[in-house]
């Protein structure tokens, strides 16, 4: 299913922006570079990164005005180099702008050096002078945060790239990729712990409020307990823009955290009879909901793994499959072919809005695991991730 975040975004009570808009002057120089470069300023807050403004270099310099929404705001300053007819991103600098002018000066030797973006930003404002970034007083907080997570983020990104390479090199062979997937998960857990540690020790920083807001945009990527602690710690934070945004959407963010109570919804069984999810819940058992469709190759490829889990953990796990097909006949045909020995429900895309918003169904397969207390444990596309919670 093609990702669609418009419905989820519409559920939020206004984005992180007030009525004001600030025109930010962005300028810089790359000594020793030609004019075959492009620079852009991008808004990274919300569900998707959005281009604010960009310009081509004139000689080794650039300058432009960028209309930034209410500040403080998380933005990226990126440099692209042209190779033939294509532009490729060379460098990316993460900033927290307060509306002050943004200036970047970087030596071309450092620009050409092959290294992760975040590692390159680690050279900022060091005595050797190869890279200087000025973006206002709040950037010092951002730099402190980036210093804190740099090593963990580079390790996590490297693990993720290695996993992707092995996946492509081995035609998606899951047995070969499994070890790399576990390494990536472990590295990302360390990265998350670093981020949460920074937030916990800097509750008054503006960048902390911005980070809590930013990661709340990623449904079911955070735990309810951690989110509640982080929000409570912002009580005296001066960044009222982000704090008030979180406050306005507190119910939404709390309901889209791991550990939140499950949301009931109604679908149809094979006879067309309405069935609620709550009526299927069995005391003492976890519930796995598999949102799928007859036309979805990855969905059907996942079914054998779901069958294996259902059989292996039958004493503590029940499964419900929920088809989002629009064509009921095609669903019933596929259901017969797959021979899934558990409850089958029909919830076409035209009627899926409540479940889609509740469980952030932006693509399928979408597997939702609910614990014995009726709380969402995990939402993922991978049966292997679900299996980790059943051990």
Output the pLDDT for position 11.
55
Q: Give the tens place of pLDDT for each residue, 346-367.
A: 999 888 999 999 999 999 999 9
The stretches of the chain forming alpha helices (DSSP H) are 6-11, 108-112, 117-121, 139-169, 174-201, 206-216, 224-233, 240-248, 250-255, 297-312, 328-338, 353-358, 383-390
DSSP assignment string, 116-167: -HHHHHTTTT-TT-SEEEE--TTHHHHHHHHHHHHHHHHHHHHHHHHHHHHH
Output the pLDDT for position 109.
87
Output the pLDDT for position 172.
76
What's the Cα-to-Cα distance from 312 to each of 43, 299, 305, 306, 384, rounded to whole Å? 46, 20, 11, 10, 14
Q: How many whole angstroms separate alpha carbon 32 and alpha carbon 23?
A: 29
Question: What would the mean pLDDT of 38-50 be, rounded to a whole number?
Answer: 92
Q: How many whole angstroms separate alpha carbon 42 and alpha carbon 50?
A: 5
Q: Give the tens place of pLDDT for each residue, 291-343.
A: 999 999 999 999 999 999 999 999 999 999 999 999 999 999 999 999 999 99
Q: Give the tens place of pLDDT for each residue, 178-211.
A: 889 889 999 999 999 999 999 999 999 999 999 9
Q: Which of 68-72, 108-112, 295-299, 355-359 has the lowest mean pLDDT?
A: 108-112
Q: Are the C-beta atoms of 44 and 117 separated by less than 8 Å?
A: no
Q: How many whole angstroms separate alpha carbon 32 and alpha carbon 383?
A: 51
Name the pTM for this structure: 0.88
DSSP assignment string, 59-102: TTEEEEEEEEESSSEEEEEEEEEEETTEEEEEEEEEEEE-SS-E
Output the pLDDT for position 8.
52
Q: How many whole angstroms separate alpha carbon 315 and alpha carbon 329?
A: 33
The token duo for 33 is 């570079």
Q: How many whole angstroms separate alpha carbon 157 and alpha carbon 177?
A: 16
Question: What would the mean pLDDT of 112-121 be, rounded to a whole number?
Answer: 89
Q: Are the C-beta atoms of 231 and 250 separated by less than 8 Å?
A: yes
Output the pLDDT for position 12.
60
The token duo for 139 is 């950037």
Output the pLDDT for position 34.
67
C-alpha triplet 295, 296, 302: angle, nearest 5°: 135
Q: How many whole angstroms separate alpha carbon 147 and alpha carbon 150?
A: 5
Give 6's pLDDT tier (boundaries 50, 70, 90): very low
What's the Cα-to-Cα distance from 152 to each of 44, 119, 145, rounded to whole Å? 20, 11, 12
Q: Which of 14-23, 38-47, 152-161, 237-246 has the lowest mean pLDDT?
A: 14-23
Share of the chain above pLDDT 90, in %: 78
Give the contacts of 11 (CB within 8 A, at least 6 positions apart): 252, 357
Give 17's pLDDT tier (boundaries 50, 70, 90): low
Mean pLDDT computed over every residue of the chain: 91
Give 69's pLDDT tier (boundaries 50, 70, 90): confident
Q: How many whole angstroms separate alpha carbon 372 and alpha carbon 270?
A: 27
Q: Are the C-beta atoms of 71 and 103 separated by less than 8 Å?
A: no
Q: Are the C-beta atoms of 241 and 16 separated by less than 8 Å?
A: yes
């Amino acid at each position: 299913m093609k990702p669609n975040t418009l419905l989820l975004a519409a559920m939020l009570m206004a984005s992180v922006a007030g009525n004001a808009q600030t025109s930010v002057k962005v300028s810089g120089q790359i000594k020793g570079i030609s004019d075959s470069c492009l620079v852009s300023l991008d808004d990274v807050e919300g569900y998707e990164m959005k281009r604010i403004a960009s310009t081509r270099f004139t000689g080794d310099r650039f300058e432009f005005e960028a209309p930034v929404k209410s500040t403080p705001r998380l933005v990226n300053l990126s440099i692209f180099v042209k190779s033939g007819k294509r532009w490729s991103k060379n460098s990316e600098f993460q900033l927290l702008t307060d509306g002050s002018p943004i200036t970047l000066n970087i030596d071309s030797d450092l620009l050409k050096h092959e290294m992760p973006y975040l590692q390159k930003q680690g050279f900022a404002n060091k005595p050797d002078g190869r890279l200087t970034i000025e973006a206002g007083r709040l950037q010092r907080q951002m730099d402190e945060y980036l210093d804190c997570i740099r090593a963990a983020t580079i390790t996590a990104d490297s693990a993720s790239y290695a996993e992707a390479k092995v996946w492509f090199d081995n035609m998606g062979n899951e047995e070969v990729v499994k070890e790399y997937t576990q390494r990536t998960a472990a590295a990302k857990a360390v990265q998350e712990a670093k981020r949460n540690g920074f937030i916990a020790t800097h509750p008054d920083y503006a960048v902390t409020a911005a980070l809590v807001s930013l990661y709340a945009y990623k449904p079911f990527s955070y735990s309810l307990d951690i989110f509640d602690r982080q929000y409570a710690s912002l009580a005296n934070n001066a960044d009222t823009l982000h704090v008030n945004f979180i406050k306005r959407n507190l119910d939404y963010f709390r309901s889209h955290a791991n550990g939140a109570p499950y949301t009931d919804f109604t679908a149809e069984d094979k006879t067309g009879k309405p069935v609620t999810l709550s009526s299927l819940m069995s005391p003492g058992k976890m519930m796995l909901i598999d949102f799928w469709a007859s036309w979805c190759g990855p969905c059907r490829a996942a079914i054998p793994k779901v069958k294996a889990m259902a059989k292996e953990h039958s004493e503590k796990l029940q499964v419900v499959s929920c088809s989002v097909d629009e064509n009921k006949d095609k669903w019933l045909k596929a259901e017969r072919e797959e021979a899934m020995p558990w409850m089958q429900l029909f919830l076409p895309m035209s009627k899926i809005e409540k479940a889609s918003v509740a469980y952030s169904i932006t693509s399928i397969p979408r597997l939702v695991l609910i614990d014995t207390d009726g709380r969402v444990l995990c939402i993922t596309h991978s049966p292997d991730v679900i299996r980790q919670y059943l051990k």
